[in-house]
Amino acid sequence: MISPVEWEGDSLKILDQTKLPDEIIYLNTDDYHLVIEAISSLRVRGAPAIGVAAAYGIALAAQKLDSNDTAEFINKLDSVLEEFASSRPTAVNLFKSVSRMKNTISPDSSVENLREALWHEAQKIHQEERFATQQISKFGAILIEDGFTVLTHCNTGPLATAGYGTALGIIIEAWRQGKKIDVLATETRPLFQGARLTVWELQQAGVPVRLIIDSAAGYYIKSGKVKCVLIGADRIAASGDTANKIGSYSLAVIAHENNVPFYVAAPSSTVDLSIESGDDIIIEERSPAEITNIGGLQITPQQVTALNPAFDITPAEYITSIITEKGLIKQPFDKNLKKVLRSSKDAVS
């Protein structure tokens, strides 16, 4: 399984996803600024992978901070935490990682012990994401029947999760279990995470995949070919409203209109019980150049105004179930998300 981010010795190894699938290029860095740059520029991307990269990046910064005085060290680390928290706005995994790393800091520890504790916490976050995505793949695969055509959007595999994948983990697991499935992958404009990354990951896993343009999804869903739509998430509010890659909302409405189940797969680190609804989720606006240019070539007239929201919100009512590492969560999400995620047992409602 390919890993988008790995701690190696005293540096961080990041697979540059902007170069995939043409080139497999790793950045090896001990400079936390480059980790922030990698998150902002989508070299490392996908909600869980962003959280893992940020945790390692903070641990890396801690190794390098030039101070032997605990109070001064904590002060400097606080600004590092803020820098990471401003690298991308939507995926809650980033903020949860930053806050876990912050909670690891004790003013009574020596700087050496703090460095050690931060490194351990980053490793723990990574291990937890791996385990969570393994469980999600297992629970979710039950929903995929032999012969299904599954439509997925964006990229939700190992590259996006630093683990087994969420939506794509489920698809790969179902295939491994011997189910003869095939996948329709949307290209996912403007940055082509579907065309570049999902197709590549499914090919590596040997899963049959056909690429469609984003706007062909409705045609295939209406045709009856698609048996379910399965996506990941960047942030799920307490109501179940889900932020995911732009275009997810349209897919959900079309699936609903055609009585096709619409599933969201995400670890509990993507659920934000501190916000009630999707209205409270900040949607990242990215550079218009991502739309006006393809492969470095401008395809539009000069001076066009372009709008580039990276995510949208799918209202809970359009989501059939949410698959987490704790099991399958059904409607009503405003009750069941809290019940399942706050219980220590693997409750299935």
Residues that bind ligand MRU (CB under 6 A): 42, 45-48, 91, 154, 156, 160-161, 166, 193, 232-234, 244-245, 310
The answer to whether 193 and 155 are in contact (CB under 8 A) is yes
Beta carbon of residue 29, minimum distance to ligand MRU (angstroms, whole number): 20
Extract the tokens encoding 29.
């860095």
User: 62 or 230, CB closer to ligand MRU?
Assistant: 230
Beta carbon of residue 100, minimum distance to ligand MRU (angstroms, whole number): 19
Beta carbon of residue 166, minimum distance to ligand MRU (angstroms, whole number): 4
Given the residues 234, 241, 272, 312, select the one marked as catalytic: 234
User: 73 or 164, CB closer to ligand MRU?
Assistant: 164
Beta carbon of residue 107, minimum distance to ligand MRU (angstroms, whole number): 35
User: 77 or 209, CB closer to ligand MRU?
Assistant: 209
Which own/partner pairs from 100-105 qualify as long-range (CB within 8 Å, at least 24 positions apart)? 100/55, 100/125, 101/54, 101/55, 101/58, 101/59, 102/78, 105/74, 105/77
Quick check: is 69 catalytic? no
Beta carbon of residue 88, minimum distance to ligand MRU (angstroms, whole number): 7
DSSP string across 5-63: EEEETTEEEEE-GGGTTT---EEEES-HHHHHHHHHTTSS-SHHHHHHHHHHHHHHHHH
User: 133 or 292, CB closer to ligand MRU?
Assistant: 133
User: 48 or 140, CB closer to ligand MRU?
Assistant: 48
Distances (CA, A) of 284 to 40, 86, 311: 11, 11, 7
Residue 144's SS3 state is coil
User: 239 or 244, CB closer to ligand MRU?
Assistant: 244
Extract the tokens encoding 194.
């579907």
Q: What angle do CA 27, 53, 34 make, to 5 degrees?
A: 45
Report the distance separating Cα 36 and Cα 221, nearest Å: 38
The answer to whether 167 and 150 are in contact (CB under 8 A) is no
User: 71 or 307, CB closer to ligand MRU?
Assistant: 307
The answer to whether 195 and 227 are in contact (CB under 8 A) is no
Residue nearest to ligand MRU (CB): 232
Residue 332's SS3 state is coil
Beta carbon of residue 309, minimum distance to ligand MRU (angstroms, whole number): 11
Buried b (16+ CB within 10 A) or exposed e, 105-134: beeebebeebbebbbebbeebbebbbebbb
Q: Enumerate residues 6+ apart whose C-beta is below 8 A from 30.
A: 10, 11, 12, 60, 63, 64
Beta carbon of residue 34, minimum distance to ligand MRU (angstroms, whole number): 18
Give me the active site residues, please.
Answer: 234
